[in-house]
Amino acid sequence: MSDEHTNGGRIKEITSVSNPIIKDIRLLEKKRHREETNSFIAEGMKLIIDAIDSGWTLKTLLFAASHRENDNVKNLATRAVTGGADVLIVPEKVLGTITRRDNPQMVVGIFERQLLNASGIKPEAEDVWIALDRIRDPGNLGTIMRTADAVGAKGIILVGETTDPFATETVRATMGSIFAIPVARLGEAEFIDFAKNWNGFVVGTHLAGSVDYRAPQYSGRPTLLIMGNEQSGMPPPLVDVCEQLIRIPQVGRADSLNLAIATGVCLYEVRRHALALEERESRI
C-alpha cells in the first residue's frame, strides 16, 4: 500500500477487499451507517463532477487502478485531493464489492448527505414541492426525484417512515438528480402543521379524488403536491390538509397507477404552464 500526503486529502493505494478502510466503506450499504457517518455513495465520473460543481462535499474518491493513467480520472483525483477528499486507488473488484455490481463504474464517490428541515423550505412564486407519504420503494423514490428535477420542481418532502433517499439503489435511480433536488424529512404531525401553513395550493392525489388532475388552476401560487403510500394511499389526516383531491382517470382493470408514474403525470400538469414558457424562452 502506498500512502501519499498532500496539502489537501490523502492518496492511498489499496489492493485488498478486506482492508479496514474498504470494510468501513462497504458498511455504507446499511442505512444506520450512512446516518452515523452522514455519508452516501454515488457512482460515475460525470455525476461526481456535477456534484462537486454544485457544491456537494466529496469525502472520498475511489477509482480503479486500471484507470490511473486516464487524464479525466487524474484531473478529478487532483481536484478531489485539493478539495480535501481522500483518494483511494483500488482494484476493479473492490469497486464491485462496494457497489454490489458485476460491472462497476470505474469511479465512485463518497459524499456528505444533505437534508433540509421544515424551516429550509421557502416556497415562492410558482414553486412546486412534492410530499411523499411513507414512500417504501427506493426505485420509486429515485424515479420521482429524477422527474421532479426534469420538470423544475423545487424539492421533495419525505413524510413519516420512508425509504432512504441516500440508499445506493435510490441514488442510482435518480441518475444524478439526487444532487439537484433538495430533500426534506418531516414526521407526519410536523408535516401536517407545515401543510396547514403552506402559502399556496395544497393538492392531494387520491383514487377517490373528485376532481380530474387537469382541472385545477396550478399557476400563480406555490403548489404542494401530496402523494400517498404505495400500499395504503393517503391517510385521513393528510387528506384533511388538502384544499383539493385530484384523480387521474383510469379505464381497464388496474386498481391504481404506480406511484412514480402517477407523480410524473401530475407533475407535468402542475408544471405545464411553466414548462411551456421555459421551452419557448430557451428557443429564443
Residues that bind ligand SAM (CB under 6 A): 205-207, 209, 227-228, 230, 232-234, 247-248, 250, 256-257, 259, 262
Question: Which residue lies nearer to ligand SAM by CB, 99 or 229?
Answer: 229
Which amino acid, residue 40?
F
> Whole-number minimum distance, CB 18 to ligand SAM, in Å?
43
> Whole-number minimum distance, CB 69 to ligand SAM, in Å?
49
- Angle, nearest 10°, between helix axes 45-53 and 71-82? 30
The radius of gyration computed from the CA coordinates of the chain, to the nearest angstrom, equals: 21
| 242: Cβ contacts below 8 Å, ≥ 6 apart | 202, 203, 204, 226
Is residue 168 within 8 A of residue 41, CB to CB? The reply is yes
Question: Which residue lies nearer to ligand SAM by CB, 6 or 250?
Answer: 250
Q: Of the candidates 87, 35, 95, which has an alpha carbon nearest to the alpha carbon of residue 58?
A: 87
| 147: Cβ contacts below 8 Å, ≥ 6 apart | 260, 263, 264, 267
Q: Of the candidates 216, 199, 234, 224, which has an alpha carbon nearest to the alpha carbon of residue 273?
A: 216
The H or E element containing residue 84 is: none
> Whole-number minimum distance, CB 246 to ligand SAM, in Å?
6
Question: Which residue lies nearer to ligand SAM by CB, 171 or 234?
Answer: 234
Alpha-carbon span 284 to 281, nearest angstrom: 5
> Whole-number minimum distance, CB 262 to ligand SAM, in Å?
4
Alpha-carbon span 140 to 145, nearest angstrom: 9
Question: Which residue lies nearer to ligand SAM by CB, 154 or 206?
Answer: 206
Question: Which residue lies nearer to ligand SAM by CB, 44 or 233?
Answer: 233
Question: Which residue lies nearer to ligand SAM by CB, 60 or 223?
Answer: 223
> Whole-number minimum distance, CB 166 to ligand SAM, in Å?
23
Bridge partner residues of 89 (DSSP): 13, 63
Supply 30's cell numbers. 446499511
> Whole-number minimum distance, CB 161 to ligand SAM, in Å?
16
Supply 236's cell numbers. 385521513
Which amino acid, residue 195?
A
Alpha-carbon span 89 to 73, nearest angstrom: 11
Question: Which residue lies nearer to ligand SAM by CB, 39 or 162?
Answer: 162
> Whole-number minimum distance, CB 144 to ligand SAM, in Å?
10
